Amino acid sequence: MDVTPAQLDAWVVSVFPSALDSGHGCESLGDGEATVRWRHDDGLLRPGGYISGPIQFQAADLALWYAVFTVIGIEPMAVTTDLHLTFLRPAVGGDLLATARILRTGRTRVHGTVDLWVDGAPDRLVSHATGAYHRPR
């Protein structure tokens, strides 16, 4: 994929302006893999300083969308068909990172997983997601 994370973020803003409104952005791209970072914002935290479920869900969904682009190309109509998020421990104390990895690219669907953690603790996952995207024909 010959696009930088910043270029991909700029493209997303041009086709889906609200996607990055809550502080998410592409951190890195690789073959079948993408990482999204949510920049810590005290104003968006739940009571107790917790990074909310919706923030985590959006990070997982965006990371998987970006990872799909690394295997099928940038396709605006690649859409989520399902995404399941399991919370493992409270997410507190810093930026949230979400790394998606593609498991299978089929004719009509692309399946992947996403690991989420707070910056500095990649070995202490705060949530884990599995999901699929529809692959436009």
Binned at pLDDT 50, 70 and 90, residue 115 comes out as: very high
Give residue 41's pLDDT: 86
For the CA atoms of 104, 107, 109, 112, what is the dihedral angle to 10 degrees? 10
Query: Sheet harboring 109-118: ordered strands across?
Result: 24-30, 33-38, 96-105, 109-118, 127-134, 79-87
Give residue 22's pLDDT: 82
Binned at pLDDT 50, 70 and 90, residue 111 comes out as: very high
Residue ranges making up the domain that contains 58: 5-134
pLDDT at residue 18 greater than cutoff 90: no
Considering its fold, how many domains does the chain have in total?
1
For residues 52 and 30, give the distance between their C-alpha atoms in angstroms, rounded to a whole number: 27
Give residue 11's pLDDT: 93
For residues 87 and 135, give the distance between their C-alpha atoms in angstroms, rounded to a whole number: 27
**Cβ atoms within 10 Å, residue 31:** 9
Give residue 44's pLDDT: 78
- Here the CATH number for the domain that contains residue 77 is 3.10.129.10
